[in-house]
Amino acid sequence: MNLDTALKIVKEQLTEHRYQHTLGVVETAVALAEQYGADKKKAELAAAFHDYAKFRPKDEMREIIIKQDMPQDLLNYNTELWHAPVGAFLVEKEAGVTDVEILDAIRYHTSGRPGMTLLDKIIYLADYIEPGRNFPGVEEVRILAKEDLNKALIRSIQNTIIFLMKKNQPIYPDTFLTYNSLVTIKED
């Protein structure tokens, strides 16, 4: 599938604001793919589809998580986490994307996962730093992303954990597992 087709499909699923965010993620993911030597076409498609399920009704997402045997602990945490794995499922089912690397990058774009692939990292980070984002700390992560993908990723996860903690929100364990797997990478 080419990018234009993907964007046409995804546009119907999103608000205009979320579609503009998606375009920003595509642009950023392509730049990161070029910089870090990932497959540009896969980065484009994963970015285009990453928020495909963002506006699906919660009941529909809950049912998919149960019926498709996804990690059931998702049901006990913030519903914001659900659109990532449900998106991977629906992008395969409804848009016919079968590439496992693309589907995994969509599946793990919110929580991350231990041992993230290069494509997973690029989509996670592009989602965080695309030009439309303007929350505190994003500029520092943009600068880190130009120097070191893992350092940028670690900082963005730290920011997210701190943000959630300040709001007294629970934190999905995979977010911590992802963080731990990145900080224990040996530098030398």
Judged by the rule CB under 6 A, the positions of this chain that interact with ligand DGI are: 51, 54, 77-78, 80-81, 84, 109-111, 127, 160, 164, 171-172, 175
CA dihedral 137, 111, 132, 31 (to 10 degrees): 100
Chosen from ligand DGI, Fe ion, none, partner binding at 107 (C-beta under 5 to 8 Å by type) = none
CB of 25 to Fe ion, least distance (A): 6
Cβ proximity to Fe ion, 169 vs 183, nearer residue: 169
Cβ proximity to ligand DGI, 23 vs 164, nearer residue: 164
Chosen from Fe ion, ligand DGI, none, partner binding at 81 (C-beta under 5 to 8 Å by type) = ligand DGI
Q: Which amino acid type is present at position 139?
A: E
Burial of 176 (0-12, 13-18, 19+ CB in 10 A): middle
The full DSSP string for 20-69 is HHHHHHHHHHHHHHHHHT--HHHHHHHHHHTTTTTTS-HHHHHHHHHHTT
Chosen from Fe ion, ligand DGI, none, partner binding at 28 (C-beta under 5 to 8 Å by type) = none
Judge whether 44 and 147 are in contact, CB under 8 Å: no
Cβ proximity to ligand DGI, 28 vs 111, nearer residue: 111
Closest-CB residue for ligand DGI?
172
Residues that bind Fe ion (CB under 5 A): 51, 127
